[in-house]
Structure 1
Amino acid sequence: MEGGGADAANRVCRPRSAAEARQEVEFALYPLRCAPDARYRTAHLAGVQDATLVASELVGHVLHHGAALSRDCFLVCSLYRDEITISVTDPCDEPLPAFPDAPDPGRTGLAGGGWWLVHQVADQVQVVQLAEGGRSITAAVPLSGP
């Protein structure tokens, strides 16, 4: 995950739904769609589906497990040259497995499928417990050109 720099563009919001989270990612990726360089326009097309999926799963988890706490959910999208990082901060202290297993419909249904999917799509996933309670989950989704 790249650090903040002069070439980073950030969007911060409090999504009330997974659909709002997807929309914020699309807004964050908009500069790529308008780029004069074809490589960056292609990166937008390659990355938008993965990035919106990751944002949707992370925010959806917060809303599913604590709908009343959704007002404390923050989404930050940071666009860099080769990746977009999606960070979701929520008040939940529930531990998450560092390396989730693929969902097994016969054993557990699809429980944990979204967390597994985030790990499949993102290059890096980082969970940080916050001193004031809650956690911040950051996923770096690669943007690749032609």
Structure 2
Amino acid sequence: MSPISGGTWSSSHPAVASVNNAGLVTGLAAGTARFVFTNTSTGCSSDSSAVLTVNGTPGISLIGPGNICIGQNSQLTPTVGGTWLSLQPSIATVSNTGLITGISAGTASFRFTETSSGCQATPQQCHKCTVKTGCQCYWS
């Protein structure tokens, strides 16, 4: 945001979005915030006419097993409203409906990007699934 010198910026909701004195805004939580610039030499304040909306991080979860065999499946949610990405596609793939398929032994992480907001699940929210070798099938 501008100006970037000669005063201080403040946020109407600092828990939602912070702003430093160079005008750099950082989204912290879902919600809305306005920003005020106060000129240090005159003491005058100017409200920003723009409202910043911070979208929440998409909630994701693994609803299927966390350990699968090569060729087996598991399931992530949500199943609509965005795109899934496997961070290790040589170990496990994921469809846009959240269906995981084991490809080779190892551990794969998955990330979801919400279409409407463009927001992604943060790295701490990525879900992992371990693909094992030597799984046996038992027929009854």
Choose between structure 1 and 2: higher strand proportion.
2
Higher RCO, 1 vs 2 (CA within 8 Å, ≥6 residues apart): 1
Q: Fold-level match, TM-score > 0.5?
A: no
Using the size of structure 2 for normalisation, the TM-score is 0.28
Choose between structure 1 and 2: higher helix proportion.
1
Using the size of structure 1 for normalisation, the TM-score is 0.27
Larger-gyration structure (1/2): 2
